[in-house]
Chains A and B, each alone.
Chain A
């Protein structure tokens, strides 16, 4: 007789090993990135209305709660960006004859672009 046994998958499957945990954090990071984008939008809409609004907004952002929030968001954004860039060689395969461009080059190009764009934006701001 054949009576296959189905092993149940626990609710905490994502806690089974490091790879799964980092994966979950990576996925959750998008939530925080989204929240930050929302915050940025609010900032643009509200704070741009007048110089007083701008000052009030910036003051509010100095509170401990917001600072903690921003630190957390920064952490997740970095995680998000780094994991994303590290995965780009899997998606972008560039061939030269029989050889593939090395992974480090593809990911490295993204990091470089990230740094350049960051510098440009910082210079503008």
Chain B
């Protein structure tokens, strides 16, 4: 152990990189059962069992990183920020979709932990899923401010005014980090691949409710379609697993109410349509 200029306890392989403690003395262990699949050599996936050091403050991602660095460089997964804001590291942990950077080993220890790729997505390799359909669904609901050309405010006139109350109307739905845990938790997303899904619909609602947006009708073509809100049966698990409290289930049900009111209006007051 040596002390650096900045006073950090630094030493190769120990405190300098607490993630990669390789010469640890007395170490409690924990078992990880990890889903493996390699498209170039496997026709079926299988589980591989590993032993990792158990540390009080480690999350599942720390354990995966330790494994990849020290034991098995072929283990493949996505990760980046380690603080629950980039949305990369979503996986099934003991059957529940979780951000592995926020799933603490101490909450499972001493039981073994099963790590699998997010449910309801095709598996590219190991813990990496194919996200193409998700990206398409996000784009399909037109997640940008839509305004009529005539009502576009020039930049020289400054910002669109938006009161704190108006901001609060859609704020919650804007917090989605695109981690896809909600799709993994939703049985409809698995049974009906065309289902637009919780995150995408919540994002659509975020724009519909934004006081600066005028794209409600254009968006409703997708949102109020069969593949969107009407395929949702309000299981509600999407909201339960969401790490950012976006409440996509709430967004979808509110969209259903809005869409139903629209329908009645179109019947009772057809002259009101633009």
Please, what's the 1-or-0 string for B159-189, where 1 marks a CB less than 8 Å from any CB in chain A?
A: 0000011011100000000000000000100
Binds A, one of B7-15, B218-226, B233-241: B233-241
Q: Inside 8 A of B256's CB, which chain A residues have their CB?
A: 91
Q: How far is the CA of A54 from the CA of B132 in the complex (A)?
A: 64
Instruction: Given A23-B235, A87-B234, check contact A9 B190 (CB 8 Å).
Output: yes
Q: Which listed residue (A1, A4, A19, A98) contacts B130, Cβ 8 A? A: A4
Are B249's CB and A90's CB within 8 A?
A: yes
Q: State which residues 1-38 of A face B: CB under 8 Å.
A: 1-7, 9, 13-14, 16-17, 19-20, 23, 27
Please, what's the 1-or-0 string for A31-49, where 1 marks a CB less than 8 Å from any CB in chain B?
A: 0000000000000000000
Instruction: Answer yes or no: B155 CB below 8 A from chain A CBs.
Output: no
Q: Inside 8 A of B83's CB, which chain A residues have their CB?
A: none
Instruction: Given A91-B257, A98-B168, check contact A5 B187 (CB 8 Å).
Output: no
Binds A, one of B37-45, B58-66, B100-108, B196-204: B37-45
Q: How far is the CA of A9 from the CA of B184 in the complex (A)?
A: 12
Q: Inside 8 A of A3's CB, which chain B residues have their CB?
A: 39-40
Are A5's CB and B123's CB within 8 A?
A: yes
Q: Which listed residue (A6, A9, A19, A23) contacts B191, Cβ 8 A? A: A9
Q: State which residues 97-142 of B face A: CB under 8 Å.
A: 119-120, 122-124, 130
Q: Inside 8 A of A23's CB, which chain B residues have their CB?
A: 233, 235-237
Q: How far is the CA of A67 from the CA of B239 in the complex (A)?
A: 38
Are B240's CB and A1's CB within 8 A?
A: no
Q: Inside 8 A of A20's CB, which chain B residues have their CB?
A: 187, 235, 237
- The number of chain B residues touching the other chain, given as a range, is 35 or more
Q: Inside 8 A of A16's CB, which chain B residues have their CB?
A: 95
Interface size on A, residues (CB 8 A): 25
Instruction: Given A1-B40, A2-B39, check contact A7 B168 (CB 8 Å).
Output: no
- Which of B45, B190, B235, B250: most chain A Cβ within 10 A? B235
Are A5's CB and B37's CB within 8 A?
A: yes
Instruction: Answer yes or no: A64 CB below 8 A from chain B CBs.
Output: no
Q: Name the residue of chain A whose CB is nearest to the CB of B241.
A: A19
Q: Inside 8 A of A93's CB, which chain B residues have their CB?
A: 250, 254
Are B39's CB and A5's CB within 8 A?
A: yes
Are B236's CB and A19's CB within 8 A?
A: yes
Instruction: Answer yes or no: B247 CB below 8 A from chain A CBs.
Output: yes
Q: How far is the CA of A19 from the CA of B235 in the complex (A)?
A: 8
Q: Inside 8 A of B119's CB, which chain A residues have their CB?
A: 7
Q: How far is the CA of A35 from the CA of B164 in the complex (A)?
A: 49
Q: Which listed residue (B40, B167, B237, B250) contacts A90, Cβ 8 A? A: B250
Are A87's CB and B236's CB within 8 A?
A: yes
Are A13's CB and B190's CB within 8 A?
A: yes
Please, what's the 1-or-0 string for B233-269, where 1 marks a CB less than 8 Å from any CB in chain A?
A: 1111101100000010110011011000000000000
Instruction: Answer yes or no: A51 CB below 8 A from chain B CBs.
Output: no
Q: Inside 8 A of B130's CB, which chain A residues have their CB?
A: 4
Q: Name the residue of chain A whose CB is nearest to the CB of B166.
A: A98
**Chain B interface residues toward A at CB < 8 A:** 37, 39-40, 44-45, 95-96, 119-120, 122-124, 130, 164-165, 167-169, 187, 190-191, 233-237, 239-240, 247, 249-250, 253-254, 256-257
